[in-house]
Amino acid sequence: MRASPDKAALRASQWIYRRCLWLYPRTHRAEFGGQMEQLFRDQCREAWRKHAWRGLAAVWLRALPDLFQTAVAEHLSSVREPESKPGRLARMLKVQSNSPTLAARVALAAFVPLVGVALVVMVSFLQPKTYTSESRLLVRWVIPEAPIAGQPVNDPAALYRINRLMVEREIRLMQSDTVLERVLQRQRSNTVESKSKVGDGGPSTREALARLRWQLQVSSAPESGIIKLRVTSGSAKDSARLATALVETYLAQTREAADPKLRQLTSALDAPGLKLEGQDPKLPRVYGVSLIQQPTLGERTIHPNILRNLPPGGVGGLLIGLLAGGGIAVLARRIAQRRSSQIPAPNLICLPANGLRST
Amino acid sequence: MPKNDPEPNELLPLTPAAFHVLLALADGERHGYAIMQEIAEHTDGRMKMGPGTLYGTIKRLLEAKLIEESDERPDPQLDDERRRYYRLSGLGEKVVRAESQRYADLAAVARGKKLIGRLAVVVQA
């Protein structure tokens, strides 16, 4: 036999509310859960008798905010440390008339930003020093008479696309396994007796390659043929040395790629499996790449762990601290108002606090 | 009253929820739903307490010993045995009186400032 719609609705409401009671702390649920469920059921029955679905919806609209607010309040109450009896009674029942003093507010406002500044400075100084060496290359090409890769050469938009394709191909080539492995080989041969940062027999080739990729950053300047290469390392000399090795290896590679005979020779010398990546056979190499800026000595630290970077770091920390402090203060004030039953002035006139709802 | 109990004035002013519950219990013991109905009635239906607020307040009033659970049932045949009834304790009665007096004093001040009207005395024949 199927239940009537009203009974089914009431039963479903009661079932859902019973599940929602799990939001309360276990002790509160054990002591009052049954009564709360019973009270909710009585409310639902009365509302249904008077206004059917509309009444039931109104009960839920009142019950849900009440449920979430009081569940949070009970959890906060359950984790609070025990107090002396008079203090506890006063807190539980009394409207606290004494708001935080001005001194307390000033102390809080000063303390939180200071913590923010201290954290920023501490994190900055804990970071290891890193240096970046930068180099620039220019992709130069001559506009041929014949179409390139199906693109007409008299169309500016097509020329722009071809230029972009060429730059992208060079960037891929610069980051290819072929070039990077040659850089590793060069590093190993140059630093047989000294301990190299990159692949000195410790890490495997794959790990060394991954590390090298992490150190390398290649990008292109917009709407130009300029390629920017940055290499990061723990010392200024290492970063410059590595950047030089990369640039020289890459340029040698491009020369080999441009000369078919040389290319055939080097591919025979290369280890099996090494492939020249980044080469698009549809796009002929009708251009050359030249170095326009030698790798610089990496003197620029990229973390603010030097004294001159402290003021901007401090200002940043201050702003973060102020934002965090403001957020915490607003949150703490709201929780304190709710917990101390302090009624905001407008609520004294129209709506009493603490869950009493106006219908 | 035991010596450890606080003075009624120490607990004032009460939260509106606590005051409404104490007022509802001022003229006899009631269970939760009856307390809620009583509050709705003496506020002309403008205020309704949710179960969470009501039993949160009851819990704190029990802890503060302003109310206590009653073992007696008005009529077990007519009522659900699972319902729990609450009544004012001695301290609770003093506190609700003190709070009512505080409100009365405030009302007198407001009346003196002509913010609210004077009480009308109705004499029934």
Q: What is the 3-state secondary structure (H, E, C) of A183-245?
A: HHHHHHHHCCCCCCCCCCCCCCHHHHHHHHHHHEEEEECCCCCEEEEEEEECCHHHHHHHHHH
DSSP chain B: --TTSPPGGGGPSBPHHHHHHHHHTTTS-EEHHHHHHHHHHHTTTSEEE-HHHHHHHHHHHHHTTSEEEE---S-TTTS-TT--EEEE-HHHHHHHHHHHHHHHHHHHHHHHTTSSPPPPP----
Q: For chain A, what percent of residues have pLDDT higher than 70?
A: 57
* Chain B residue numbers touching A357 (CB-CB < 8 A): 47-50
- What value of ipTM does the predicted structure carry? 0.84
Instruction: Give the mean pLDDT of A55-66.
Output: 88
Task: Classify residue B63 by burial, with Cβ atoms within 10 Å: 0-12, 13-18, 19+.
Answer: middle
pLDDT above 70 for A287: no
> Which among A18, A356, A357 is the top mutation candidate for probing chain B, defined by the most B β-carbons within 10 Å of its own β-carbon?
A356
Whether A136 contacts A228, CB under 8 Å? yes
Single-letter code of the amino acid located at A193: E
User: A40 touching B, CB under 8 A?
Assistant: yes
Q: What is the Cα–Cα distance from B9 to B125, expressed in whole angstroms?
A: 40
Q: For chain B, what percent of residues have pLDDT higher than 70?
A: 82
What is the model's pLDDT at position A234? 80
- Residue A149 is given by DSSP the state T
Name the more confident of A248 and A203.
A248
Name the more confident of A359 and A282.
A282
pLDDT above 60 for A349: no
Measured CA to CA in angstroms, residue B28 lies from A235, B15, B25, B35 at distances of 84, 21, 5, 10
pLDDT above 70 for A87: no
Strands A226-233 and A216-220, bridge-based pairing: antiparallel
Question: Cα A23 to the chain's mean position, in Å?
Answer: 31
Instruction: Give the mean pLDDT of A320-326.
Output: 73
Instruction: Give the mean pLDDT of A102-110.
Output: 65
Q: What is the Cα–Cα distance from A303 to A125, expressed in whole angstroms?
A: 9
Under 8 Å CB-to-CB from A137, ≥6 apart: which residues?
A170, A226, A227, A229, A247, A250, A289, A290, A291, A292
Q: What is the pLDDT of residues A209-263, one digit of tens each?
A: 888 888 888 888 777 778 888 888 888 888 888 888 888 888 887 777 666 665 6
Q: What is the Cα–Cα distance from A12 to A8, expressed in whole angstroms?
A: 6
Q: What is the Cα–Cα distance from B107 to B94, expressed in whole angstroms?
A: 20
Instruction: Give the mean pLDDT of A105-110.
Output: 66
Instruction: Provide the mean pLDDT of chain A.
Output: 71
List the one residue out of B95, B115, B97 whose CA is nearest residue B106.
B115
User: B1 touching A, CB under 8 A?
Assistant: no
Low-confidence winner among A88-92, A319-323, B93-97 (lowest mean pLDDT): A88-92
**CB half-sphere exposure, B113, CA atoms < 13 A:** 6
List the one residue out of A315, A298, A304, A178 whose CA is nearest residue A242.
A298
- List the strands of the sheet with B85-88, edge to edge: B30-31, B85-88, B67-70
User: A179 touching B, CB under 8 A?
Assistant: no
* Chain B residue numbers touching A354 (CB-CB < 8 A): 15-17, 53, 57
A59: closest CA of chain B, how far (Å): 9
Q: What is the Cα–Cα distance from B14 to B2, expressed in whole angstroms?
A: 21
Measured CA to CA in angstroms, residue A107 lies from A72, A103, A112, A114, A120 at distances of 28, 6, 9, 10, 20
Single-letter code of the amino acid located at A225: G
Strands A131-141 and A216-220, bridge-based pairing: unpaired
Name the more confident of B62 and A275.
B62
> Which among A93, A94, A354 is the top mutation candidate for probing chain B, defined by the most B β-carbons within 10 Å of its own β-carbon?
A93
Q: What is the Cα–Cα distance from A178 to A180, expressed in whole angstroms?
A: 6
Dihedral of alpha carbons A110, A111, A112, A114, sign: positive
- Residue A99 is given by DSSP the state P
Q: Where are the beta strands (DSSP E) in chain A?
A: 131-141, 216-220, 226-233, 287-293, 300-301, 356-358
Q: What is the pLDDT of residues B86-124, one digit of tens each?
A: 999 999 999 999 999 999 999 999 988 888 876 655 555
Under 8 Å CB-to-CB from B16, ≥6 apart: which residues?
A343, A352, A353, A354, A356
What is the model's pLDDT at position A345? 33
Interface contact flag, A352 B58, Cβ < 8 Å? no
User: A45 touching B, CB under 8 A?
Assistant: no
Among A43, A74, A89, beta carbon nearest to B11: A89
Q: What is the Cα–Cα distance from A74 to A118, expressed in whole angstroms?
A: 35
Q: How many CB atoms lie within 10 A of CB A164?
A: 14
Max alpha carbon distance in chain A (Å)? 96
pLDDT band of residue A40 (cuts 50, 70, 90) is very high
Instruction: Give the mean pLDDT of A279-283.
Output: 51
Q: What is the Cα–Cα distance from A233 to A216, expressed in whole angstroms?
A: 9
Name the more confident of B61 and B2.
B61
Strands A356-358 and B47-49, bridge-based pairing: antiparallel
What is the model's pLDDT at position A336? 65
